[in-house]
Amino acid sequence: MTDRRVAVIGTPGKWSTEVLADHLEARTGFRCVVDMAEVVLELETGRLRFGDLVLNELDGVIVKKISEVYSPAADDRIRMLSALEADGVRCFSSPQQIGRLINRLEGTSALARAGVALPTTRVTENAEAALAILDEFGKAILKPLYSTKARGMMVLDARDGPGANREKLSRFRAEHGLFYLQKFVHLGGQDLGMVFLGGEYLCTYARVGDAGAWNTTIHSGGRYEPYQASAELIELGRRAQACFELTFTTVDIALTDQGPVVFEVSAFGGFSGARKGCGIDAAEQLVDYVLNDFGKNE
C-alpha cells in the first residue's frame, strides 16, 4: 500500500475508467474519477478544481479518456490538463503527447515523417481535387480529423460516379470540413491492436470484423481474438508508438496485400482488447507501472 494520490481522468461509470480506479484504490486507498466536463481552470492561478478537490495537489493523474468522442473540444480539455503538468503533477500520459493524437492529421503526419508504413493518404479542402484523388485510388475511406471507432468515416467508390460522390463530399464538408482520404485497403476480415506500456511491448490482439461491415471495430460488430505477432510486426508497432511518448497505447495495424500498415496510434489505448483477446489485465499493469515510476523518481 502506498499513500500516493492518483486520480483517473475518464468517464464515470464506464468500465475502462472504473476498473482503473478500482486498481488504484486497492493499491493506494485513494479513489477519484475526474470528469473533465466538471473541471474549472483558474487561469490566474493555474489551479484546476473538480468540486472541492484541487487537482494540482494530487501526486498524479492517469488520463484514460478525455471525451467520449474526439473533437476540438477534446483538444481544449487536453490544454486545460497541461496546467497540471506545468505545476509538477505527474501525468500518465503527458497532455502534450496526447494532444498530438487527438487530431488525426497531426498524428499520422508524425508517423509519415518517421517513415512508418501507412495507407496512401491525401488531404485537401478542394472537392474537385478530392474527386481526382478518388479516381486515382478507385476506392477510399473519407475520415474526419476528429473521430474514434470509425465514427463519421465514409467509403467512397469511384464507380459511383462524380455526381454521387460530389454530393457525399458536400455533406461531409458541412459536418467535418477538410477531406482526409486514405486509399481503401482490404483487411482480410481483421486488423490488429498492438499494446505497449511504457514503450515496451505487451501483447497483440486481432479485431475480427462482422461479415457485413467494411471495418473491424467492436462498435461495428467486430470481436477480439488472440494473435501471435512476428518480431518484424512488433518492431513496426514499436517504431510507430515511439513517435509519441505515451505511457500506455495501442497501435492499430492492418495486414494488406502490400504488407503491414499502421492506421493510427491511440491517444489512450484500450483495456478490453488486451483482456478479451490476450487474457491480460492491462489496467492493473498500468497502475503497477505508474506507482513504480513514482518510486524511481524519489
Tell me how far apart the alpha carbons of residues 136 and 280 are, in angstroms, rounded to a whole number.
43
Q: Which CATH superfamily is domain 121-183 in?
A: ATP-grasp fold, A domain (3.30.1490.20)
**CA dist list (Å): 74 to 100, 101, 143, 167, 267:** 12, 11, 17, 29, 12
User: Average of pLDDT values for 33-61?
Assistant: 96
- pLDDT, the chain, mean: 91
For residue 87, which phi and psi values (nearest 5 degrees)? Answer: -95, 5
What value does the mean pLDDT take over residues 58-75?
87
Per-residue confidence (pLDDT) for residue 69, from 0 to 100: 74
- Looking at per-residue pLDDT, the higher value among 27 and 296 belongs to 27
Whole-number percent of the chain with pLDDT over 70: 95
Is residue 3 predicted with pLDDT exceeding 80?
yes
The CATH number assigned to the domain with range 186-280 reads 3.30.470.20
Order of strands across the sheet with 47-50? 39-42, 47-50, 53-54
d(CA 190, CA 214): 10
* 26 has a pLDDT exceeding 80: yes
Buried b (16+ CB within 10 A) or exposed e, 110-129: bbeeeebbbbebbbeeebee
Task: Say what the pLDDT of residue 218 is.
Answer: 55
CATH architecture of structural domain 6-99: 3-Layer(aba) Sandwich (3.40)
222-235 pLDDT, tens digit each: 789 999 999 999 99
Indicate the domain borders of the chain. Answer: 6-99, 121-183, 186-280
| Nine cell digits for residue 213 | 461491415
Identify the pLDDT of residue 217: 59
Looking only at the bridges linking them, the beta strands covering 6-9 and 33-34 are parallel
In DSSP notation, 183-205 reads E----TTEEEEEEEETTEEEEEE
Q: What is the rounded average pLDDT of the residues 118-138? A: 96
Query: What pLDDT is recorded for position 180?
Result: 96
pLDDT average, residue stretch 160-164: 96
- Is pLDDT at 34 greater than 60 in this prediction? yes
